[in-house]
């Protein structure tokens, strides 16, 4: 029997965010003069990589994609009033107990759909995405 962990909407949203982040990392690296130095431009279909403005346009396209998928994710969960991924009071303490139980092969406490570590990691991802989007917008708008 297959256990359904995430909805198709959630999977598509996560895939969109993941592709956007990796494309942003790649296009951001290409904005430095590494394509010529490491001869990336000689690889098949990579001749465009030495052009700063093309890599900048690709960076902007994937930044728009990232913002779209992040806001789609946020809007979807706000409209559903599903806040189960947000950290709850006592998550750090529960997380320490759970890690202790795993390390010392003790009985684990029953958990909800998301483990305390997952909720704390989600908060970390939310903070990182917010910082990336805000600093990217500041850089783009040159505030």
DSSP codes of every residue in 8-55: HHHHHHHHHHHHHHHHHHHHHHHTTTHHHHTTGGGSTT-GGGG-HHHH
Domain count, the chain: 2
**93 shares its domain with 68:** no
Residue 109 has pLDDT above 90, yes or no: no
**64 shares its domain with 126:** no
Residue 36 has pLDDT above 70, yes or no: yes
Report how far apart the first and last C-alpha atoms of the chain are (Å, whole number): 54
Is 140 contained in some domain?
A: yes
**31 shares its domain with 78:** yes
**106 shares its domain with 118:** yes
What pLDDT, on the 0 to 100 scale, is given for residue 69? 97
Is 3 contained in some domain?
A: no
Contact (Cβ atoms closer than 8 angstroms) between residue 24 and residue 59: yes
- Is residue 3 very low, low, confident or very high in pLDDT (cuts 50, 70, 90)? low
Across 25-34, 70-79, 107-116, the highest mean pLDDT is recorded for 70-79
- Is residue 110 very low, low, confident or very high in pLDDT (cuts 50, 70, 90)? confident
Is 90 contained in some domain?
A: yes
Mean pLDDT of 50-72: 94
Residue 1 has pLDDT above 70, yes or no: no
CA dihedral 23, 65, 4, 1 (to 10 degrees): -50
**132 shares its domain with 94:** yes
Is 127 contained in some domain?
A: yes
User: The domain containing residue 143 runs over which residues?
Assistant: 85-143
pLDDT digits (tens, 9 = 90+) for 14-26: 999 999 999 999 9
């Amino acid at each position: 029997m297959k256990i359904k962990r995430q909805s198709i909407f959630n999977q598509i949203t996560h895939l969109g965010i993941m592709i956007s982040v990796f494309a942003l990392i790649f296009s951001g690296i290409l904005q430095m003069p590494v394509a010529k130095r490491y001869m990336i431009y000689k690889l098949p279909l990579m001749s465009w990589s030495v052009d700063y403005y093309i890599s900048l346009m690709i960076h902007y396209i994937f930044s728009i994609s990232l913002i779209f998928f992040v806001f789609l994710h946020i809007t979807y969960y706000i409209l559903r009033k599903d806040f189960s991924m947000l950290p709850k009071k006592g998550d750090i303490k529960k997380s320490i107990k759970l890690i202790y139980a795993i390390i010392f092969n003790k009985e684990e406490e029953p958990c909800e759909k998301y483990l305390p570590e997952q909720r704390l990691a989600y908060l970390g991802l939310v903070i990182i995405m917010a910082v990336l989007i805000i600093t990217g917008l500041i850089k783009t708008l040159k505030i």
